Chains A and B, each alone.
Chain A
Amino acid sequence: MNFFSFSRAASVADALRDAGAGAKFVAGGTTLVDLMKLDVETPAVVIDINRLPLAEVGPAPEGGLRIGALARNSDVAHHPAVVRDYPVLAEALLSGASAQLRNMATTGGNLVQRTRCVYFRDTASACNKRVPGSGCAAIGGYNRNLAIVGTSEHCIASHPSDQNVALTALEATVQITGARGDRSVPIGEFYLLPGDTPERETVLEPGEMITSVTLPPPAPGARSTYLKLRDRASYEFALASAAVVATVTNGTLERVRIAMGGIGTKPWRNRDAELALEGKRVSAERFAAAAQIILSGVKPQPGNAFKVELGKRCLVHALKLVTAEA
């Protein structure tokens, strides 16, 4: 256990003033407190941001929907605009964790939740993400739930979130504020590959806060779905998942967005796979070809090689679901 100071921010400015290296915001606490109890996260300063006015879900000024960083996962999942216009997000959120956790978990916290790699969670194990340079115990160890794409020789941790896979397929934008001002980052640029710095997972700088996420207006006629595959029927992270947003006109795929979860070190999107489908007729062969583009040439571990085939089936089936005649 680690000693830390705790403050409760009354305003965003307040929070930013206290934030900096060694500080952590706490929102729902479902990742942070868990990892603090394991001595994996050892912040010197913990800033409670739950009182900040960032929980709103409503129309974005530039069109689309803005979701406040403190909006709870359950509130977002049941928000009428989300259910109507972005079912992929509602489905992804509801497939995650448990009802109790979703009531606490926030949009912002979910965006930066940490991996479920068992070695990352165990301070007695070598882990480059937790202690840079210490090695990666997952390689050659228990890695069934870890990533097969986006990996490096330094880290193969899978990105755990369902929400963020849906947000990636929806081409969301993350709004960030910090001592040096505000910025917006497309979600496709928000996450970093582990490379030789697996401890850096996003472009967030120390002390920066996520204030909201915006979703572009739904493409006319678009349909979307989230398919999550796992061992048991609920309350488990994805072994493979697929978020698909697609517009089909007269049997032709016009616009396709695909993101996959469970298989990658970040929410996994491959534009080539989408291009292989856009403008083409709906067909099982093309779906398989798109899956092949994403999953060919990947370097799995012995413990998670099955995810290559599982990921393919997941994507093919999600595409079938989304393109099925209503």
Chain B
Amino acid sequence: MLGQALPRIDGPYKVSGAAKYTSDRRVENMAYAVAVGSTVAAGRIARLDVSKALEVAGVIEVFGRGNIGKLYKPSPEAGMFDEARPPFADDAIRYYGQYVALVVAETFEAATAAAGLVEVSYREAEPNVALDLAPDDEPNEVSQRGDPAAAFDAAPVKIDQNYVTPAETHNPIELHATVAIYDGERFTIYETTQAVTNTRNVLSEILGVPREKVRIIMKFLGSGFGGKLWPWTHGTLAAAAARSLGRPVKLVVTRKQMFEAVGHRARTQQRVRMSAERDGTLTSLQHDAVNAAGMLDEYDENCGEATPYFYGTDNLRVTAAQTRRNIGSPTAMRGPGAVPGLFATESAYDELALALGMDPVALRLHNEPAQDQDLAIPFSSRHYTECLTLGAERFGWSQRTPEVGSMRRDGTILGWGMAGCSWIAARFGAEARVELHADGSARVLTGTQDIGTGTYTILAQYVADATGIPVERVVVEIGDTDLPPGPISGGSMVTASMVPAVLEAVRKAMKSAVGLAAKGDAAPFKGVPADQLVFADGRIGRKDSTAGAVPFADILQAASVAFVSGSGKAEGSFGQEHPKYSLHSYGAQFIEVGWQPEIARLRVHRIVTVVDAGRIINPRMARNQIEGALVMGVGMALFEEAHYDPRSGAPINSNLADYVMATHADAPHMDVTFLDYPDTKLNELGVRGVGEIGLAGVAPAITAAVYHATGARVRVLPVTIEKLLLGP
């Protein structure tokens, strides 16, 4: 069961349309809300005139600062959020698209029409959306060892370069949406969220009600990529409007608004200084990152996340700093920190290899550390060198000739590049309940969510494996704060986080069933001590013999018990103060690009990726995660960038034609291998989780390949045509 490439159990719901996404929810007496965004990025609202909007037939109310009702600032203890300011809290405008009014009407069309008639005048200030990022304050020291500056000065070979990753938007195909219901006391909110529990905790504080008065439900998500982890202001507005009107309110943000007020990957500018002996031994590494943040937030992209432990060096310094811009709050986006961070550091390794005249794989193998030098602790299970060597073998790396432009096929210049990658492995706290029913089915209940990644199926596999109940008879209930609290769907951690809680719960439930087998007159194993009995393959029988084992359902029937259940709870390991082991996933990306200078056409042909992500529970879904991430990596490397107009501060390419992402036709041939070494320091199954690791390392491998093909070293993503057209 574990390790089987099962199809998703929620697949049929999705392909038949039976899966209800948040915006599919229709409830009785529901009104429709449309938010009005600011058309300036800095200044103050001088006047908000809603009179024309109110005249539109079907309009119920137009909310602004004066009538939205009391909204509180959430405390840091509430949980995670990026935009701390409650919507409409003051008249200041800090980014383009900041909500200034909310129209609620009987129909979506009427609300949309009226939203266009809300008249706002502003006292405009000059927005700051400058691209060059200098820290506003003294940078924070993230990690420090030895004397990197002195080692750098003394080294025979060194690299000192700046790397830039642009603002990118998540833009999952499903728009952010909220359906908020208020019954005079309790809120029931359908929300496009990757974290129902956190959303409940934060919203309850903003709305000023106890947590038990807020229920959040999310059954299917049209993906999130981190953009739906923490609550955004549209959800607050919908809930406040429902509270004020005493009617359910639905709000679906527009595609344009997906570029404005629901987060994005922060722009980063990173200086990397690296030095080595002539044999490739790394003597120092300095990584100084700055990211753009919103005016009111402290968003830290944490670019140096993987830097301190990834390779061995005695002298290291990592710093992080922010600079504020008139942009919406950035937020976590698939592989936050490590993905932009590894673009910088892995690019620098490639440049260092070149300066040393060394093969980039060999350089990395040469600097493999014996332990996590940052924390001075052992690695739990690190197979990075095998990722490198196996990847090189599968790719055919030994055939590479290092001179720029030296490889060709059918008239196309080939570029071969590679990069390594790493991603944190940890568990969040989790609770679960498992029920075993007298009809032979099982149920697993936990307030985590499936964001399209396969959590429904994984949880069914865990229970099916432990009990022997067929996977199609396991019902999975998730995505609801009325369930035992489950982890956020972020950081690629759900699969690992759920292991201890679900196993504890299912074992307790099985123990109860075993208890019934020996108790009472009708019990099949009447009089047999419970410790002589086992639950295996869906049956209960004697430990010493499989003969005579009875289906557990028969035991429950005989005892007239509808179901037995067990609960499990596990503390998280994420953010632990003094970990004993350094836990991470690793991988290597080998990439071939094709370059046709005569038409300035660059395409990614193929990617070989080898991933060390612990034990793989479902190879089909794991591969699906990695392949999706690789295609996203092609977009990150070559196409994606949100452009802010320098004068208005508007994210101006705010639609899916002008914000260019990879299409199917851009998807390269992909060869994905999992090493499948269980990491039992994380949980007893040795499971880590797979998601973000596939995106890490793709962009630097592509720019390394681009250099190999063209001689142009692109340090500012994305690699657009104009950066290659005129040569290095």
Interfacial residues, chain A to chain B (CB-CB below 8 A) = 1-3, 39, 116, 118-119, 121-122, 124-125, 137, 140-142, 145, 227, 229, 231-237, 239, 306, 309-310, 313-314, 316-317
B665 within 8 A of A: yes
* Central interface residue in B116, B639, B648, by most chain A CB within 10 Å: B648
Known: A125-B648, A142-B643. A235 touches B653 (CB 8 A): no
Given contacts A1-B116, A39-B116, A233-B666, contact A306 B725 (CB under 8 A): yes
Give A236 to B309 CA distance when docked, in angstroms: 41
Are A142 and B666 neighbours in the complex by a CB distance under 8 Å? no
A140 and chain B: residue at smallest CB distance: B647
Query: Known contacts being A233-B663, A239-B721, is A116 close to B599, with CB within 8 Å?
Result: no
A145–B722 Cα distance when bound, in Å, is 12
| Bound form: Cα–Cα A223–B658 in Å | 33
Q: Contact flags (1/0) for B681-722 with A, using CB distance below 8 Å?
A: 000000000000000000000000000000000000000111
Flag if A231 contacts B112 (CB, 8 Å). Answer: no
Contact A141 B652 (CB under 8 A): yes
4 nearest A-B pairs in the assembled complex, by CB-CB distance: A306-B722, A233-B665, A124-B39, A1-B113
A231 touches B599 (CB 8 A): no
Bound Cα distance from A122 to B653, whole angstroms: 10
Identify B663's interface contact among A2, A125, A137, A234, CB under 8 A: A234
Given contacts A227-B599, A313-B598, contact A232 B663 (CB under 8 A): yes
B726 within 8 A of A: yes
Given A124-B39, A306-B721, A313-B598; A231-B653 close (CB under 8 Å): no
29 A-B pairs (CB sep. < 8 Å): A2-B116, A39-B116, A116-B657, A116-B658, A118-B652, A118-B658, A122-B650, A124-B648, A137-B648, A141-B645, A142-B643, A142-B652, A145-B658, A227-B599, A229-B600, A229-B601, A231-B660, A231-B721, A232-B660, A232-B665, A233-B603, A233-B663, A234-B666, A306-B721, A309-B725, A310-B721, A313-B600, A314-B599, A316-B598
Q: Check B124 for interface membership: any CB of A closer than 8 A.
A: no
A124 touches B650 (CB 8 A): yes
Residues of A within 8 A of B600 (CB): 229, 309-310, 313
With CB as the reference atom, state the residue of chain A lying closest to B722: A306
| Other contacts beyond A2-B116, A229-B721, A234-B663: 7, CB < 8 A | A116-B658, A118-B652, A118-B654, A119-B652, A232-B665, A239-B721, A309-B600
B527 within 8 A of A: no
Residues from 657 to 686 in B contacting A, C-beta threshold 8 Å: 657-658, 660-666
User: Within 8 Å CB of B646, what residues of A?
Assistant: 140-141
Q: Which B residues are CB-close (under 8 A) to A316?
A: 598
Q: Residues of B contacting A231 with CB < 8 Å?
A: 638-639, 660, 720-721
- Taken together as a complex, chains A and B put the C-alpha atoms of A118 and B648 apart, in Å, by 13
Interface residues of B, dominant DSSP: loop
Q: Which residues of B contact A140 (CB under 8 A)?
A: 646-647
- Contact residues on B (Cβ < 8 Å of other chain), bracket: 35 or more
A119 to B651, CA, bound (A): 11
Find out whether the CB atom of A121 lies under 8 angstroms from the CB atom of B655. yes
A113 to chain B, nearest CB (A): 13
A105 CA to B4 CA, complexed, in Å = 45
Is B136 in the interface zone, CB < 8 Å from A? Answer: no
Q: How far is the CA of A1 from the CA of B32 in the complex (A)?
A: 15
Would you give the shortest CB distance from A127 to chain B, in whole angstroms? 12
Q: Say if the beta carbon of B109 comes within 8 Å of chain A.
A: yes
Could you say which of B601, B645, B654 contacts A137, with CB atoms under 8 Å apart?
B645
CA distance A5 to B230 in the complex (A): 43
Residues 616-655 of B, flagged 1 when their CB comes within 8 A of A and 0 if not, give 0000000000000000000000110001011110101111
In contact, B113 and A237 (Cβ under 8 angstroms): no
Closest Cβ–Cβ distance, residue B654 to chain A (whole Å): 8
Residues of A within 8 A of B720 (CB): 231
A122 contacts which chain B residues (CB < 8 A)?
650, 652
Distance of A121 Cα from B662 Cα, bound (Å) = 23
B109 closest partner in A (C-beta): A1
Complex Cα distance, B665 from A142, in Å, reads 26
In the complex, chain B residues 557-615 whose Cβ is within 8 Å of any chain A Cβ: 598-601, 603
Kindly state the separation between the CA atoms of A137 and B652 in the bound complex, as whole angstroms: 11
**In the assembled complex, how far is the CB of residue B54 from the closest CB belonging to chain A, in whole angstroms?**
15
* Chain A hits for B648, CB < 8 A: 124-125, 137
Contact B721 A1 (CB under 8 A): no
Contacts of B599 in A (CB 8 A): 227, 229, 313-314, 317
Cross-chain contact A232 with B666 (CB below 8 angstroms): yes
Q: Which residue of A lies closest to B655 (CB)?
A: A121
Q: How far is the CA of A169 from the CA of B643 in the complex (A)?
A: 34
In the assembled complex, the Cα of A183 lies from the Cα of B720 at a distance in Å of: 44
Query: What is the minimal beta-carbon distance from A287 to any residue of chain B, in angstroms?
Result: 11
Report the Cα distance A6→B647, complex, angstroms. Answer: 39
The distance in angstroms between the C-alpha atoms of A227 and B726, with both chains bound, is: 20
Shortest Cβ distance from B59 into chain A, in angstroms?
12
> Is A142 within 8 A of B657, CB to CB?
no
Query: Closest Cβ of chain B: how far from A157's Cβ, in Å?
Result: 14
Q: Which residues of B contact A233 (CB under 8 A)?
A: 603, 663, 665-666
A318 (CB) vs chain B CBs: closest residue: B599
Chain B residue numbers with a CB within 8 Å of A309 are: 600, 725-726
Determine the distance from Cα of A310 to Cα of B663 in the docked complex, in whole angstroms.
22
- CB-defined contacts of B603 to chain A, threshold 8 Å: 233
Q: How far is the CA of A136 from the CA of B680 in the complex (A)?
A: 62
List residues of chain A with CB within 8 A of the CB of B113: 1-3
In the bound complex, how far is the Cα of B601 from the Cα of A314, in angstroms?
Answer: 10
A284 to B665, CA, bound (A): 31
The residue from A1, A2, A141, A236 contacting B657, defined by CB atoms under 8 A apart = A236
C-alpha gap A116/B655 in the complex (Å): 11
Cα A84 to Cα B710 in complex, Å, equals 38
Q: How far is the CB of A315 from chain B (nearest CB, A)?
A: 10
Say how far B199's CB is from chain A's closest CB, in angstroms: 30
Q: A231-B720, A235-B663 are in contact. Are A142 and B653 (CB under 8 A)?
A: yes
Assembled-state Cα–Cα distance A67/B536 (Å): 71
A3 to B116, CA, bound (A): 12
Q: Are A1 and B645 in contact (CB under 8 A)?
A: no
Chain A residues with CB under 8 A of B653: 118, 142
What's the nearest-Cβ distance from chain B to residue A68, in Å? 27
In the complex, which residue of chain B has the Cβ closest to the Cβ of A308? Answer: B725
CB distance from A323 to the nearest CB of B (A): 14
**Residue of B112, B647, B661, B722 ringed by the most chain A CB atoms within 10 A:** B722
Q: How far is the CA of A137 from the CA of B646 in the complex (A)?
A: 11
Q: How far is the CB of B57 from chain A (nearest CB, A)?
A: 10
**Using a CB-CB cutoff of 8 Å, which residues 71-118 of chain B contact chain A?**
109, 112-113, 116
How far does the Cβ of A60 sit from chain B's closest Cβ, in whole Å? Answer: 34
Q: What CA separation (Å) do A124 and B647 show in the bound complex?
A: 12
Residue of A nearest to B111 (CB): A1
User: Which residues in A have their C-beta under 8 angstroms from that of B598?
Assistant: 313, 316-317
**Cα-based distance from A3 to B666 in the complex (angstroms):** 41
Q: Which A residues touch B647, using CB under 8 A?
A: 137, 140-141
Tell me which residues across on chain A come within 8 A of B660, comparing CB atoms.
231-232, 236
State whether A232 and B645 are in contact (beta carbons under 8 Å apart), knowing that A1-B113, A142-B652 are contacts in the complex. Answer: no
Beta-carbon contact of B722 and A234 below 8 Å: no
Complex: A213 Cα to B657 Cα, angstroms: 28
B650 to chain A minimum Cβ distance, whole angstroms, is 7
**A219 to B663, alpha carbons, bound, how many Å?**
37
Which of A3, A118, A227 has the most chain B CB atoms closer than 10 A to its own CB? A118
Which chain B residues border A234 with CB–CB below 8 Å?
A: 663-666
Q: In the assembly, what is the distance between CA of A198 and CA of B564, in Å?
A: 74
A314 CA / B598 CA spacing, docked (Å): 8
The minimal Cβ–Cβ distance linking B639 to chain A, given in whole angstroms, is: 6
User: Which residues of the partner chain A approach B726 to less than 8 Å between Cβ atoms?
Assistant: 306, 309
User: Which residue on B lies nearest to A306, using beta carbons?
Assistant: B722
Chain B residues, Cβ within 8 Å of A229: 599-601, 721
Question: When chains A and B are docked, how far (Å) is the Cα of A1 from the Cα of B720?
Answer: 36
**A39-B647 Cα distance, complex, nearest whole Å:** 22
- Shortest B257–chain A CB gap in Å is 13
- Docked CA distance A107–B664 (Å): 27
Expressed in whole angstroms, the minimum distance between the Cβ of B608 and any Cβ of chain A is 20
